[in-house]
Structure 1
Amino acid sequence: MCTNDRNDVVVVMVPFVAHGHLNQLLHLSRLISAHNLPVHFISTATHLRQLRSRHHDFNNSTVNFHEFQTPPFPSPPPNPSSRFPTHLQPAFESTRHLRRPVSALISSLSATARRVAVVHDFLMSYVVQDVKTLPNVETYIFNPLSACDSFWRTWERMGRPFRVDPDVLRRLPSEHGTFSPEFTDLLTSQLPHIGSHLGELFDSSRVIEREYIEYLEREEMNDNKKIWAIGPFNHVDISQSKQVVTVSENRHDCLRWLDLQPASSVIYVSFGTTTTLSDEQIKELAIGLERSGQRFIWVTRGADIGDIFGAEGKVSDLPVGFEERVGGRGLVVRGWAPQTEILGHFATGGFMSHCGWNSTTESISMGVPVATWPMHSDQPRNAFLITDVLRIGLVVSDWERRDELVSAAVVEGVVRRLIDSSEGEEIRKRAAELAEAVRRSVAEGGECRKEADSFINYIKRK
């Protein structure tokens, strides 16, 4: 890349510090850098170290990483009685210290570039508030939530500016309980600093969320801001369907175990990086998986704490003798699992998930139906999108009954329906058809590829 190109248009990524948010903008950074644009990725030293530990190809990236120190913050353990990860709030608040160093870096880049395009997480709007004074800097909001959840929240906040289907509204999960009061305050503090951005980016596709993206584009909703749905950019190889793989001794243990299982026979159970289940709920889940008689991989790693290098999150004990009783058809993983590879494996037939947006787009991309168990944030509406709109999943935990224990009988029933029934086969067929549509959309000439090219061409415009 010649010097003149590097000094023409520069892209700066400012992600929020939750792992899922970091993950999304890292993938977007790689997508943009593939267009021969210099990309600068900014975060705290702690969270870049976390990201580096979970992406083994991190050091091979063409992205420029900038880490800034923040004052030490508490890293309390997760609280199983809180569905929202309130224990991460001190880490979230630490981002307030990035305002000045981020502004200084962007100002420095603007001095040698024709244009600086700053793509920032909505939750980092207060961090980039000063760059609007720089004449050759423009900002774009990255929305880390689904377009479905984003639309409903915005529509409510704007006083329901147009009519929607009342039946859909009746079935829609409520916002109540999705955020903690402290996180709501953090979110609200961003609002005074938005409005000067030129557009919004979504890690989504019109193939997946066309109705909601078009709602967000309506004149009543977005004040003529551009919207690009250029996902899923979750670094999943979705160029071809699931393939049979050969057994190899140098692969992760769980993948080598999957190699030996029949096609679409395994349910993958994982609740992301921020979920902590109570001991009682762990027991019910274990009993349900055992009684289902189905094959499974269950990731039981502890939830992230604010600084994952400070201490390990607590992992709840499984029932005595559980692993011995399910040996051969069930595998428990206590560490970090290669989720995208598990979902892409031919033996995986279902995913019991918290419905975080990263996990949702990964399962959609790989054609894996979802047993929905939302915990907080956009997850209840993502679950609604999966089960009610796309019809590629089954409900394990109903959001409106979220404070109730999910019984072993419910777990057993949903797992059997998804993995070993004609109903499950029909759901799997729809999931495979959607995955194929997504594959076509990200290929050359596809709808998502065109939107990504549109964004690149827009920030490079003369």
Structure 2
Amino acid sequence: MEASKANVSIVVVPFPAQGHLNQLLHFSIMLSSHGLTVYYAAPRTHIHQTRSRLQGWPTSATSSLHFHELPIPPYTSPAPNPNSSIFFPSHLQPLFDEFKHVQPHLANLLHSLSATSRRVVVISDFLVSFAATEAAALPNGEPYTFRCTPPSGALAWQGEDGPVGNLLKALGLKTPSKEDRVTEEFSAIVARSKSTPESGVLINTCRLIEGDFLDIFMQQPDLIGKKLFAIGPLNPIVITETAGPRHRCLDWLDRQPSGSVLYISFGSNSSISDEQIEQLAMGLLNSDQRFLWVLREADRGDVIAEGERDRQNKLPPDFIEKIEGKGIIIGDWAPQLEILAHQATAAFMSHCGWNSCIESISMGVPMLAWPMHSDQPWNAVLLSSYLKVGVVVRDWSRRKEVLLAVEIEKAVKEVMVYDKGEEIKRRARELKEAVRQAVGDGGSSNPELLAFINHITRS
């Protein structure tokens, strides 16, 4: 190990939801690949969750990481309500409420490392404000906040006044309504995080994706004077298939023509209603396009204890028989990165979680946006109207409506069949190549990543 990296301990603390756990595990792997000592600190069940779902890296990728379990009190893990009028995963709130009780266990780890390390660098999710507070209290601690959502979204929700409003007007972008994005309970978690002590900010994005927004983002009053590292994409962009049994959907994709399959997934924490499942199924059937649809219950707080439940019993009668040879339904968790990287995959119908957006961009796959909650309504605007690598299937203004099969069929054909789709696919390919050239060598040569490593290992 280089002398500058010796005795620098890095502790990564994710928020316990799949998109957050996943991004920070990718980042941890990247840091450890540069010879740094990295601790990934999370409750046992969430360490298992994120490790079991890791894709795209060689088997040895996590071998040098230290996984540190943070004990958490028992919590209820209710089933999601897919027929709720609000799509935010409020069934995870009991987990979010109990997660704050890991703080003393994290403090013990940090104090132990502080006694033997030259510097303790704590990289915590923006929503885990107590981790940054504990790091700032150490004599040799240095806290950094990791943002799992795009800075453009943080700006867009502020309103239409000042530099942000001027930029949005110049770009011809309109911010979706704030209503129904999150619950009041989750808003309180976000509010507590806004006064977090931090030496800098890390974001899973890059200037090719959000260049117009990054400079204005760092002019926010609470960020002035702090360092910004736009280190994305964090997922591997040269994919190594996961060790162990190959998922059956990849074998099915192998048998499909190149660029012919629509991939449909609404993320780990989102569900669509029973009625919407039926309309989506008919829309896919009528579009006459090949598709791979992940149709499963959203994650519960403890995915190990509860297992996974598919929802194929909500499909129209004889649907499985009608799609034989042209479509496949997956009722368990699917290897999304490997699906997006597959040559048969042509487009991605998505809830537009930022993790999915970044993965799709880095694989050059255009998106059909169907936002559900949180940052997703803005992400749909960013993809369709700013980057122009997708179309909106269900606009946020119609979030309480059941989208009819005929509208879904039209959106699918717009990307998969019509001339407009060819232009969107071309732009997606061009953005992929530009991003890959910018980060270089599968992501490990990302200049912003190297700048961050040099900064935290300085003498």
Residue of structure 2 equivalent to 1:181: 184
* Offset at residue 414 of structure 1 (A): 0.8
Q: Distance in 2 between matches of 1:60 and 1:438?
A: 25
Distance 1:447 1:18 in 2: 25
**For residue 98 of structure 1, what is the amino acid of its counterpart?**
V
Q: What are the superposed Cα offsets for residues 65-88 of structure 1, whole Å, 9 maximum, x if unpaired? A: 100221110011101213000000
Counterpart in the other structure of 1:261: 256
Moved more, 306-315 or 56-65: 56-65
Given the superposition, is the C-alpha separation of residues 123 and 60 from structure 1 closer, same or farther in structure 2, using an over 3 Å criterion? closer
Q: 2:90 matched to 1:86?
A: yes
Kept in 2, the 8 Å contact 1:52–1:58? The answer is no
Could you tell me whether the CA contact under 8 Å between 1:440 and 1:446 is conserved in 2?
no
- Is the 2:75–2:98 contact (alpha carbons within 8 Å) kept by the matching residues of 1? yes
Counting aligned pairs with the same residue, the percent is: 44
Residues 281-321 of structure 1, C-alpha deviations (whole Å, 9 max, x = no match): 00000000000000000010211001112224543321110
Report which stretch shifted further, 306-315 or 73-82: 306-315
Number of equivalenced pairs: 449
Q: What are the superposed Cα offsets for residues 41-71 of structure 1, whole Å, 9 maximum, x if unpaired? A: 1001121122232237488431101002211
Q: Could you tell me which residue of structure 1 aligns to residue 387 of structure 2?
A: 390
- Cα pair 1:371 1:414 within 8 Å, conserved: yes
Q: Distance in 2 between matches of 1:430 and 1:447?
A: 24
Residue 125 of structure 1 aligns to which amino acid in structure 2? S
Deviations 1:371-425 (A, max 9, x none): 0000011111111110000001011010011111111111111111111111111
Taking a change above 3 Å as real, the CA distance of residues 336 and 376 of structure 1, as seen in their structure-2 partners, is: same
- 1:348 maps to 345
Alignment of 1:204 onto 2:226? no
Among 296, 304, 308, the residue aligned to 1:301? 296
Letter in 2 for 1:356: G
Letter of the structure 2 residue corresponding to residue 51 of structure 1: T
Compute the TM-score of the two structures, normalised by the length of structure 1: 0.92
1:350 shift after superposition:
0.5
Provide the residue aligned with 2:127 in structure 1.
Answer: 123
Where does the alignment leave 5 or more consecutive residues of structure 2 unmatched?
Answer: none
Aligned partners of 1:298, 1:446: CA distance in 2, in Å?
A: 29
| Structure 2 length-normalised TM | 0.92
Contact between 2:132 and 2:145, CA under 8 Å: does it hold in 1?
A: no
Q: What amino acid maps onto 1:121 in structure 2?
A: D
Query: Aligned ranges for residues 11-410 of structure 1 at < 5 Å?
Result: 11-55=10-54, 57=59, 60-80=62-82, 81=84, 82-153=86-157, 155-156=158-159, 160=162, 163-165=165-167, 167=169, 171-192=174-195, 194=196, 196-218=197-219, 222-237=223-238, 251-312=246-307, 314-316=309-311, 317=313, 318-410=315-407
Cα pair 1:351 1:368 within 8 Å, conserved: yes
Q: Work out the CA distance in 2 between the residues paired with 1:350 and 1:448.
A: 28
What's the CA shift for 1:122?
Answer: 0.7
Q: Greater shift after overlay, 230-239 or 170-179?
A: 230-239
User: Is the alpha carbon distance of 1:58 and 1:295 closer, same or farther for their aligned partners in structure 2, counting shifts above 3 Å?
Assistant: same
SS of the residue corresponding to residue 201 of structure 1 reads strand
CA distance, structure 1, for counterparts of residue 319 and residue 236 of structure 2: 35
Residue 151 of structure 1, CA deviation:
2.5
Distance 1:37 1:448, change over 3 A: closer
Counterpart residue identity of residue 112, structure 2 = S
4+ residue segments displaced more than 3 Å: 4-7, 56-60, 159-163, 165-170, 312-315, 444-448
SS at match of 1:222: coil
Could you give the per-residue CA deviations for residues 68-112 of structure 1, whole angstroms, max 9, x where no partner exists? 221110011101213000000111112111111111111110111
Contact 1:294–1:329 (CA<8 Å) still a contact in 2?
yes
